[in-house]
Amino acid sequence: MAELAAEKHANYIVSVEKKKGSFESVVIEHLRMNGAYWGLTTLDLLEKLHVVDVDQIVSWLISCQHESGGFGGNIGHDPHVMYTLSAVQVLALFDKLDVLDVEKVSNYVAGLQNEDGSFSGDEWGEVDTRFSYIAICCLALLHQLNKINVEKAVKYIVSCKNLDGGFGCTPGGESHAGQIFCCVGALAITGSLHHIDKDLLGWWLCERQVKSGGLNGRPEKLPDVCYSWWVLSSLIMIDRVHWINKEKLVKFILDCQDVENGGISDRPDDAVDVYHTYFGVAGLSLLEYPGLKAIDPAYALPVDVVNRIFLGK
Amino acid sequence: MNDQQALHLLNELELILESDPLIDEVGFIHPSQFDMLNEEACHLLPSSDDTLSSKVSDIDDASKHIGAASFWNKDHKLGISTEVLFPLYQTTKHAFMAAIKQYKALVDNSCIEDSSSYSASSHDNVENEVMKLSRALLLLSCDFGTAWHSRKLAVSKKHRLSMLMYELQLSALVLSYAPKCEHAWSHRRWVIKSIAGRCSTLQNILEKESELVEKIAERSKMNYRAWNHRNWLVSYMSGEQVLHELKKTRSWAGLHVADNSCFHYRRRLMLRILEDSKIGPVQNYVDINQLWEEELEWNEMLIKLYVGREALWLHRRFLAPILLKGFLIDHTDTTGTSIYKDFDKFVDNEFKLHSFCSTVPESSFEDHHAQALHCATYMSWLIKFIGIEFQEKLRVENLKSLLKKICPEKPFLWDHLTNNKS
């Protein structure tokens, strides 16, 4: 079996940031904040975070913050809770949360909670359980969960549970591994996992593993490296990860590497990108692949970073 | 290409969009395809004045030359050359970012200053610019959230139904080249939320939305975002509309048996009908027992016809427990005994289905293996979660050894599923 090309992947992440000027690269500049989180967390899991210029990143990051307290995906772009969590996570990686006006950021996030307990992604009111997770995770990292009605937030998430044990975007929405991660993660952070039928959900999640060993996100779909994260982290949080075949999943992820130029793709032989590189490495970290830092399945940050925040080291 | 030329391209794109407001499809084409399309058009309609070059006669020759090879517009379809995407995007983005900054400043000022010191005409000009530029930008980069937001901001200031309806049209245009674009779908929900309660044609709009999803789902398979939108619409639908949708999607689902999203949509509709029936008599009285039984029967027919389709077996997992767990005891049903009779019939039927599906032919293909696996997990599932006992007909040990034989990779899962009945 191939090994993890850790050095190559770190070089790939750093090179992406320097490679600009193609349509493909500029057309995603609106979500650079997410990109920063994926790339930098990958570097940290690979124990290579020291290669980047912290001050430069932090000063760019701060210039993406709005008067409202929320962060945009890049300078001049509108704020959204999604980019706000990424900004907080990046600062957490660098142990730089103290540069934030915590009051302001947490007021922005808490202000997005609706009457029924759900969360909007921004001022325009789109509701999704993803935003529930993002808000809860973000506030927890800032020690500000008391700013929202946690009970109602949990109730809303539970109302999005389907008869197959999974979760959708809104009540009645189709189960999807990405949404399931968000709902399970939010319930884990708020200590509400008892709302989940673990055997039922565990079964659905295990059925995501296909013959090649990879995981898909929904029935009948092709496997994709990103679900190594969404499905696996959910299985770990509900304590059912021993139901899947870990060796085959490791092999699937390693088969998706570009061993020459670095980076990981969605499926073997496809083009690599930062998103899949992060989810591949994070998945391997959950599978306790040697040489990688451990990652926390709920906060999606390295365990040492999470411990620093909640245990003061 | 210099900045001036790129700016000309942008003007030209805006001109096309203004002159052909009915454009309903946009795509990016390689220059080589481009020549072919133009030749084809000229060949078919040599005297046609409907092609692009005649519309942009006011643009200087050099730029016209670039333009003629950059856009293709005919029959309300718009093609944009992949060669000009990058400079066009850069120019459009910069122009948009400048305009939105100016617009936001004007909006903020108009809130704090009194109206006399604030120029209404310059406000309208900037607003027009924002609307034009955001439209062009979204046709080049569908995920540009700030551009979608700028439109919401401008439209929400006006409260005009025609403007809201145009947003549905633009979003559909974006979906024509990016059917999974989350922002475009979300923009539609924003429009519907804005008009719900103050628009007499809402039911009509919902019907059109549903049709749009089906049209897009046809060419973009298992599109989660599209189906999620359709699921979301259900809460706005009338009881009658829900029944109509259920009827309408049946043939589509039968032709797309691997599309779990369509079956989920049917589940959503069926649960809504069930919910409605608990509150009061369903419109055009529906026999819910019959509804479920027919769906089960139809599902069995599809399972036998399309071998090894996971989505079909999952649909059965949804149908069975609701029928069996007595959710369906109708308040008008006074006998109460029919449930047990149907129960035996059901168990018998599932056992026969199992016998039918678990025989893998000698020269078997992958589909038959998948069928046997899905069937065995379905039966284990009935035993574990519904508490059905097949007794001597189907022993748990036999199921377990069957599962381990077909899919030896997950022994721990099979052990768990077949060990303790809960």
Per-residue pLDDT tens for A262-285? Answer: 999 999 999 999 999 999 999 999
Q: What is the pLDDT of residue B32?
A: 83
> Other CB atoms closer than 10 Å to residue B113's CB: what's the count?
10
Mean pLDDT of chain B, nearest integer: 85
Residue ranges per domain, chain B? Answer: 1-32+70-109+122-199
Write the ipTM: 0.96
Residue B100: is its pLDDT beyond 70?
Answer: yes
A243 touches chain B (CB under 8 A): yes
What is the C-alpha to C-alpha distance for residues A97 and A112, in angstroms, rounded to an integer? 21
Residue B37: is its pLDDT beyond 70?
Answer: yes
Residue B270: is its pLDDT beyond 70?
Answer: yes
Closest CA to B166 of B356, B328, B22: B22
Q: What is the CA radius of gyration of chain B?
A: 29
CA closest to B415 among chain A residues: A243
CB contact under 8 A, B413 and A206: yes
Q: What is the pLDDT of residue B39?
A: 73
The two three-digit tokens of residue B185, written as one number: 């779908």
* List of residues 6+ apart from B375 with CB closer than 8 A: B313, B353, B354, B357, B358
A67 touches chain B (CB under 8 A): no
Question: How many residues would you count in chain A?
Answer: 313
Q: What is the pLDDT of residue B330?
A: 43
Of A27, A176, A243, the CB nearest to B410: A243
| Most A CBs within 10 Å, among B316, B412, B414, to test the A interface | B412
Of A78, A124, A200, the CB nearest to B190: A124
Classify residue B108 as exposed, middle or buried by CB count within 10 Å of its CB (0-12, 13-18, 19+).
exposed
CB contact under 8 A, A206 and B97: no
What is the C-alpha to C-alpha distance for residues A129 and A137, in angstroms, rounded to an integer? 12
CB contact under 8 A, B97 and A80: no
Q: How far is CA A159 from CA A141, A163, B45, B404, in A?
A: 25, 11, 58, 36
> Residue B398: pLDDT band by 50, 70, 90 thresholds?
confident
Of B186, B227, B318, the CB nearest to A126: B186
Residue A90: is its pLDDT beyond 80?
Answer: yes
CB contact under 8 A, B146 and A219: no
> Other CB atoms closer than 10 Å to residue A57's CB: what's the count?
18
Residue B67: is its pLDDT beyond 80?
Answer: no
* List of residues 6+ apart from B283 with CB closer than 8 A: B238, B239, B240, B243, B276
> Residue B114: pLDDT band by 50, 70, 90 thresholds?
low
Residue A54: is its pLDDT beyond 50?
Answer: yes
Of B231, B322, B417, the CB nearest to A172: B231
Per-residue pLDDT tens for B230-263? Answer: 999 999 999 999 999 999 999 999 999 999 999 9
> Other CB atoms closer than 10 Å to residue B107's CB: what's the count?
15
- Of B324 and A39, more confident: A39
| Most B CBs within 10 Å, among A25, A27, A199, to test the B interface | A27
CB contact under 8 A, B190 and A126: yes
Residue B3: is its pLDDT beyond 90?
Answer: no
What is the secondary structure of B258-314 as a DSSP string? T-HHHHHHHHHHHHHHHHHHHHSPPTT---HHHHHHHHHHHHHHHHHHSTT-HHHHH
Per-residue pLDDT tens for A216-243? Answer: 999 999 999 999 999 999 999 999 999 9
Mean pLDDT calculated for residue range B296-317: 96
CB contacts, 8 Å: B146 with chain A: 30, 72, 76-78
Domains and CATH numbers, chain A: 6-311 (1.50.10.20)
* Number of A–B residue contacts, CB under 8 Å: 114
Q: What is the pLDDT of residue B112?
A: 64
What is the C-alpha to C-alpha distance for residues B308 and B374, in angstroms, rounded to an integer? 7
CB contact under 8 A, B190 and A125: yes
CB contacts, 8 Å: B190 with chain A: 124-126
Residue A27: is its pLDDT beyond 90?
Answer: no
Interface of A with B in 98-127 (CB under 8 A): 122, 124-126
The distance of A245 to chain B (nearest Cα, Å) reads: 6
| Most A CBs within 10 Å, among B264, B270, B292, B322, to test the A interface | B264
| Most A CBs within 10 Å, among B231, B306, B313, B369, to test the A interface | B231
Residue B36: is its pLDDT beyond 90?
Answer: no
Per-residue pLDDT tens for A127-174? Answer: 999 999 999 999 999 999 999 999 999 999 999 999 999 999 999 999
Of B224, B259, B413, the CB nearest to A243: B413
CB contact under 8 A, B189 and A126: yes
The distance of A252 to chain B (nearest Cα, Å) reads: 14
Chain mean position to CA B114: 45
CB contact under 8 A, B318 and A164: yes
Residue B224: is its pLDDT beyond 80?
Answer: yes
- Specify the pTM: 0.93
Interface of A with B in 191-210 (CB under 8 A): 199-200, 203, 206-207, 209
The sign one gets for the Cα dihedral B17, B20, B23, B29 is negative
CA closest to B222 among chain A residues: A221
Q: What is the pLDDT of residue B282?
A: 58
Mean pLDDT calculated for residue range B359-383: 85
Query: What's B384's DSSP letter?
Result: I
CB contacts, 8 Å: A170 with chain B: 231-232
Of B86, B143, B321, the CB nearest to A30: B143
Per-residue pLDDT tens for A28-40? Answer: 899 999 999 999 9
Name the residue type at position A162.
N
